[in-house]
C-alpha cells in the first residue's frame, strides 16, 4: 500500500505533513512521521513510512543517507522492537558503509551506529542466542557506544546508551549483573532528571522494575524483603507516569511487568487501564 493510501486510512491526528519535495527532506519527513506514529503504536503506518524512506534513499541517494544518525536510530529500534534485529546485523555485515556517511560521519552518528549494533546483538541474545563470543562482543560494543556518547556530550543519547547496557546486563544475568544494571540505571536517572527527560525516565523506571523482577527468583528472602517496598513504589511510579505521558509504545512491556509483579506477590493483581486503583 502506498504512503498516500495509508494516510487515508489513518486518523487525522496521526497524519504528518509530507510537503517537502527534495529527496533529503522527504526522507526526513518520513522519519519524523515514523517517530511520531511509533509513539502512538500505529505500526502499519510506521512501516509504510520507513519503507518509503528506504525507496527514496535507494533511488535518490540523499546526503546524508537514510540509514545514518537519527534515521538509523529510529529505523534500527523499529526493527529491533518488531523482532527483526538479525536483519540489521546481516546488513551491517554485508556493507562496509552501513550506518555511515562516508568520511563525514560525526562522532554522535558513530556512537549511534554502535548503539544500534549493540542493541541488535542484545535482542538476538534475548531471543535465545547465548554464544559467549556474541555476549562478549555485545558488551564491548555497548561500552564503546557509551564512551563515545560521553565524549560527544549528548546527555539524552548517553541515557539511551546506559539504558541499553542495563538491558543487556539484565538478560545476561550473571551474579554481578544485578548491581551492574542498577548502577547504569542510577547514572541514567541522574542525567534524565537533570535534563527533564520524562519519556526516557519512564524507560529507566521500566528497566529498573524489570531488573528487580528478573533477579527476584534468585534473591534470598532477606533481599526480597529489603527491596519489596522499592519494587512496589517503582511499579506505581512507572504506571502513573506512562498513563500521564500517554506513552502507549510501552503499554505491552508495562502490562507484562505488572503481571510478573502480581505473580511474585509484589502487586495485589495485574492492573490494566481499567484497574488503576489496585496499585500496591
70 class by beta-carbon count within 10 Å (0-12 exposed, 13-18 middle, 19+ buried): middle
pLDDT at 27: 38
pLDDT at 103: 85
Model pTM greater than 0.85? no
Domains of the chain, by residue range, sit at 155-215+233-246+258-263
Below-50 pLDDT ranges, the chain: 1-4, 6-41, 273-280
The mean of the pLDDT values for the chain is 84
Is the N-terminal amide bond of 55 cis, ω within 30° of 0? no
pLDDT at 269: 58
DSSP assignments along 141-198, one per residue:
HHHHHHHHHHHHT-HHHHHHHHHHHHHHHHHH--TTHHHHHHHHHHHHHHHHHHTT-H
pLDDT at 54: 78
Amino acid at each position: 500500500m502506498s504512503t498516500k493510501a495509508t494516510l487515508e486510512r489513518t486518523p487525522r491526528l496521526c497524519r504528518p505533513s509530507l510537503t517537502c519535495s527534495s529527496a533529503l527532506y522527504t526522507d526526513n519527513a518520513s522519519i519524523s512521521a515514523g517517530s511520531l506514529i511509533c509513539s502512538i503504536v500505529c505500526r502499519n503506518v510506521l512501516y509504510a513510512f520507513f519503507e518509503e524512506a528506504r525507496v527514496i534513499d535507494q533511488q535518490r541517494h540523499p546526503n546524508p543517507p537514510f540509514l545514518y544518525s537519527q534515521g538509523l536510530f529510529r529505523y534500527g529500534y523499529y526493527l529491533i522492537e518488531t523482532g527483526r534485529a538479525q536483519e540489521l546485523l546481516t546488513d551491517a555485515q554485508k556493507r562496509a558503509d552501513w550506518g555511515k556517511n562516508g568520511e563525514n560521519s560525526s562522532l554522535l552518528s558513530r556512537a549511534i551506529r554502535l548503539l544500534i549494533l549493540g542493541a541488535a546483538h542484545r535482542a538476538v541474545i534475548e531471543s535465545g542466542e547465548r554464544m559467549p563470543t556474541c555476549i562478549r562482543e555485545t558488551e564491548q560494543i555497548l561500552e564503546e557506544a557509551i564512551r563515545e556518547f560521553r565524549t560527544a556530550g549528548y546527555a539524552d543519547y548517553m541515557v539511551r546508551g546506559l539504558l541499553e547496557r542495563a538491558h543487556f546486563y539484565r538478560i545476561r544475568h550473571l551474579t554481578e549483573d544485578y548491581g551492574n544494571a542498577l548502577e547504569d540505571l542510577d547514572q541514567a536517572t541522574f542525567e534524565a532528571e537533570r535534563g527533564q527527560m520524562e519519556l526516557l525516565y519512564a524507560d529507566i523506571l521500566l528497566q529498573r522494575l524489570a531488573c528487580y523482577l528478573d533477579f527476584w527468583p534468585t534473591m534470598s528472602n532477606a533481599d526480597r524483603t529489603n527491596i519489596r517496598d522499592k519494587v512496589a513504589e517503582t511499579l506505581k511510579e512507572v504506571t502513573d507516569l506512562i498513563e500521564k505521558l500517554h506513552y502507549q509504545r510501552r503499554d505491552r512491556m508495562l502490562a507484562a511487568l505488572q503481571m510478573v509483579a502480581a505473580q511474585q506477590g509484589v502487586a495485589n493483581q495485574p492492573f490494566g487501564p481499567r484497574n488503576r486503583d489496585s496499585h500496591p
